[in-house]
Every structure is written in C-alpha cells, then in structure tokens.
A and B are shown apart, each in its own frame.
Chain A
Amino acid sequence: MYDGGKIIPGLIIFVLFITFPVWYNRGNAGAVPQPELPKKFKECVLPYADMRAEHMQLLNRWRDQVLRTGDWGFDVKIGDTMYQKSLMNTCMQCHTSKKKFCDRCHTYASVKPYCWDCHIAPVE
C-alpha cells in the first residue's frame, strides 16, 4: 500500500458519506404518518389510492380552471352530491384540519405545497 495514510482515511470518509442515512436514522424508521380521516364521510372525489397519488394534480387542475378560465363549476361529484371546485369550500369541509390531515404526510415526505402562499390556513 502506497500513500495509505491519505487514501484509507479518504475511502473511510467516502463510505461514511454514502452510508450517511444509516447513521442519521440510527435504526429508527419512525412511524408511518396517519392523516386524520373525516368521520362522517367515507367517499372522496376520487377512489382512495388515486387520491393519495394524484390529489396534487387534481388541485392544480382546479386551480388552473378556476383562476385562469373562471370556471367555478359545481361539477365535483362525491357520492350523489355535487360540489364546487374549491380547496377551502370543498376539501376543507371534510378535512377540516390542515395540521392533522395535510401536514402529517407532507412533513414526513418533506413536501411543501404552495397552496398556503395564497390561501389562508385555518387557525389551529
């Protein structure tokens, strides 16, 4: 081994850097976030799995339709009732708490949606 005094420490730093998540979490995977679901309602705008994966795209589409084309249509169907395309007036009617619903997963996954740049979050 030549220059082992420099190369081996360098290699150790590299390995520690690559395995950083292992040292950072220290074997604790943490709890999976459980957003608080509304008690009265069982159905949402889309089926459960689609809502989990695609709600941000849906909200983005609503935002574009409402703000850019002025289409405030009451064409969101949940169960048998029609609702308005609206974060505050439709989504937040059931999911009343931002902290107990939105933030639980968003904090876990480090997602910072910019909904609240314009909308005023409910006081909690």
Chain B
Amino acid sequence: MKYTFPLAAVVALVLFSWVGASIPGMQYIFGIVVPYLAMGLFLGGFCYRVIGWARSPVPFKIPTTCGQGFSLPWIKYDKLEAPLTTSQVIARMFLEVVLFRSLWRNTKATVYKGPKLTYESSKWLWLFAMLFHYSFLVIILRHMRLFLNPVPAVISNIEFFDGILQIGAPTMYLTEVTILLGLFLLLGRRFFNRHVRYISLANDFFPLYLIIAIVLTGILMRFFLRSGVDIIAIKRLAVGLVTFHPTIIADIGSIFYIHVFLVSALLVYFPFSKLMHMGGVFLSPTRNMANDTRMRRHINPWNDPNIKPHSYAAYEDEFRKDMVEQGIPVEKPLTAEESAAAEE
C-alpha cells in the first residue's frame, strides 16, 4: 500500500495532465494558470511554514554535541561538533547545509548470533544524498536558460560543463545520469534496507516517485519524444511567465505539459511535506545553537513573568518545619523558637 499508492498518485498526475493538455484551449490552463498557481502556493506556503517555525519558542538550549565540549581553557574542545561561538555555529551550519556532514555519521545496525548487536558506519546515504541534491541544483540552474533572456554566461558555462561529454545531439547531460542514479539509490535504500523499509511511509515514496517522473519526462522530452518540442516556443512561454506576459506561440507536445504539471505538483507539495527540510535545516535548534549553556543563561520564552525564580534556600525557608517533621535533612536547622512551636 505505502509503495503503490504514491506511485498510483504520480501516474494519475501524469494521465490527468496528458489528457488535460490534449484538449484544445486547455494549454493555457496547464502552461500558464497551473504554473502561476503552483509558484504562488510554493512561495506562500514556504514563507508560512518558516514564519510558523519562527513563532515557535525554543524552550531549551538543545544543540546536539558530538565531541568534547568546552570546559577548561587548556582542554582542547571540538569547535565543529560542540561549537561555542557564533562563528563556530555558522561554520557547523555551513558544512551541514553544503556537505550534509551529519549524514556522514549514518550507521547500520546488525544483529549477529549471540545475540550480538553491532553498529557499522554506513556512508551510502550521504553519497546518494550528495548525488541527488547537487544534480538537482545543477539541473535547476541549467533550466534558467529558459527563463532568462539574454542567458548569463554563468548559466551557459554550467550547461557546457554538464554536457562536456558531447554524447549525441541534443547533448546528454551528466546530471541526468547522476540524478537518476541518486534517486534510484535513495529509492532502492527504502526498498531493500529492512530497517529503512519498516520506517518508510507513503510520504517518503511520493516525492521520490514524483521527482523520478519529472526527470524521466524531461529526458523523454529532450531525447525521445521530440516531435512538437519547439524550444523557441517553450522559452517564449517560460520568459513570458516570469515577465507576466505569457503567450503560447506554437503547439507544444503533451510531454512538455506533463513535465510542467509534475513540476507544479512538486512545487505545491513542497511546503507542506518533508521536503521543507530545505528551509528547516536552517531552523534546527539542535544544529543552530551554540553549546554555551554554562556561560549564558537561556531564557525559556514560555516562562510566565509573574512566576518568580524560587531558590532552594527560599524553598527550605517555606517548608523547613514540614521537612524537619518528616525527617528530611535541612541545610539550616530550625531556630529554638520554631522547634518549640513545632513541639506544641
């Protein structure tokens, strides 16, 4: 169920846009209305989610430390794993966002006869994630050639290096291979690793299926179903969308509308799903806080200002009589008057 339902959903999206975009006149819906709507929901939803997180108080200082924390000045501490200063936190965050450092710590648990439980480093997840995310980034940057007029040199250079193998015409891109490799490895991991399969849900499979479908429709459009793929008409539409004068100047093949519709679906799905880790990684309290609880007091924003701090000394003053009566040790004994009063 959790494997097939998301797949059926992606197939339904493909069929819906395929049939929909074939109806005369509907190209304006699938080529213009849907992308605008999707982009609006993406940006609005993204801001809504981030502001929602910004409004949530962080009651405790909870950085995850994975190394020697700062204690005494002559004891060397781990600046990246237990950052003390803001610059160290920024360095840690930067490496997390850019290199996915925490995935380097992924482990695989195995039970051997005995029973004996072992944890073994498993860096595959990191490799697959790097493959996928960077390929996707390059692909998005490459697509800017269709949205920017004139095309900046940076974009054409990215495109040149991506197609440097010069295989076929139109040239094959390296990222087309690496993103599919990354996606199928990430999907395979969810199928073949028992532990991961057990904790995987439909909403883990759906984005994988959807992005695979987007990549496959893109590859089909570029190399195999070229009839009606008029790149000038496509660029005119894309530039039109971002200049708010969209026009469709020629008939474009259905595969293009399917591709656009799937990307729109991804944009709409994005803010309301686990894909929000794109924004969330910056707002992770376990990563973006300094390990300085012993130097600086973290005030819980939830605290009611009317509730004053209650020290132990004040607590004992309040309950000393009862504590002594119950035989609980006290730091300050009862005065003679108090004991006399207690005995009466």
**Which of A's residues lie within 8 Å of B, judged by CB?**
1-4, 7-8, 10-11, 14-15, 18-22, 24-30, 32-33, 49-50, 52-54, 56-57, 59-60, 105, 107-114
Is B282 a contact of A105 with CB atoms below 8 Å? no
Please indicate the chain A residues that have their CB under 8 angstroms from the CB of B235 in the complex: 108-109
Given contacts A10-B282, A27-B244, A30-B239, whether A110 and B145 have CB atoms under 8 Å apart is yes
Q: Does B174 contact A (CB under 8 A)?
A: no
Q: Does B301 contact A (CB under 8 A)?
A: yes
Please indicate the chain A residues that have their CB under 8 angstroms from the CB of B149 in the complex: 25, 28-30, 108
Segment from B15-23, B45-53, B212-220, B318-326 that makes contact with A? B45-53
Given contacts A25-B242, A60-B168, whether A110 and B156 have CB atoms under 8 Å apart is yes
Q: Does B227 contact A (CB under 8 A)?
A: yes
Q: Which of B46, B58, B229, B282 contacts A2 (CB 8 A)?
A: B58
Please indicate the chain A residues that have their CB under 8 angstroms from the CB of B245 in the complex: 27, 29
Give Cα A11–Cα B52 distance, bound, in whole angstroms: 12
Is B226 a contact of A53 with CB atoms below 8 Å? yes
5 cross-chain pairs, A with B, having the tightest CB-CB distances, nearest first: A60-B169, A21-B242, A110-B151, A21-B147, A110-B145
> Shortest beta-carbon distance, A54 to chain B, in Å?
5
> Shortest beta-carbon distance, B92 to chain A, in Å?
16
Is A25 a contact of B148 with CB atoms below 8 Å? yes
Which B residues, 245 to 277, have Cβ-Cβ distances below 8 Å to chain A?
245, 249, 251
Please indicate the chain A residues that have their CB under 8 angstroms from the CB of B236 in the complex: 29, 32
> Shortest beta-carbon distance, A9 to chain B, in Å?
12
Give Cα A54–Cα B230 distance, bound, in whole angstroms: 9
Is B55 a contact of A2 with CB atoms below 8 Å? yes
Please indicate the chain A residues that have their CB under 8 angstroms from the CB of B232 in the complex: 32-33, 52, 105, 108-109
Among A1, A14, A50, residue most surrounded by chain B Cβ atoms (within 10 Å): A14
Give Cα A53–Cα B227 distance, bound, in whole angstroms: 6
Please indicate the chain A residues that have their CB under 8 angstroms from the CB of B150 in the complex: 30, 107
Among B55, B235, B245, residue most surrounded by chain A Cβ atoms (within 10 Å): B235
Q: Which of B50, B160, B229 contacts A11 (CB 8 A)?
A: B50
Please indicate the chain B residues that have their CB under 8 angstroms from the CB of A14 in the complex: 46, 279
Among A4, A109, A113, residue most surrounded by chain B Cβ atoms (within 10 Å): A109
For B228, give the chain A residue with the smallest CB separation.
A53
**Could you jot down 25 A-B contacts, CB within 8 Å?**
A1-B54, A2-B54, A2-B55, A2-B301, A7-B50, A7-B54, A7-B283, A14-B46, A15-B43, A18-B42, A21-B144, A24-B148, A28-B243, A29-B239, A29-B243, A33-B232, A49-B251, A60-B169, A108-B235, A109-B145, A110-B145, A110-B155, A110-B159, A111-B231, A112-B156
> Shortest beta-carbon distance, B197 to chain A, in Å?
34
> Shortest beta-carbon distance, A51 to chain B, in Å?
10
Please indicate the chain B residues that have their CB under 8 angstroms from the CB of A1 in the complex: 51, 54-55
Please indicate the chain A residues that have their CB under 8 angstroms from the CB of B228 in the complex: 49, 53
Give Cα A24–Cα B243 distance, bound, in whole angstroms: 9
Give Cα A7–Cα B168 distance, bound, in whole angstroms: 46
For B252, give the chain A residue with the smallest CB separation.
A53
Q: Does B240 contact A (CB under 8 A)?
A: yes
Q: Does B309 contact A (CB under 8 A)?
A: no
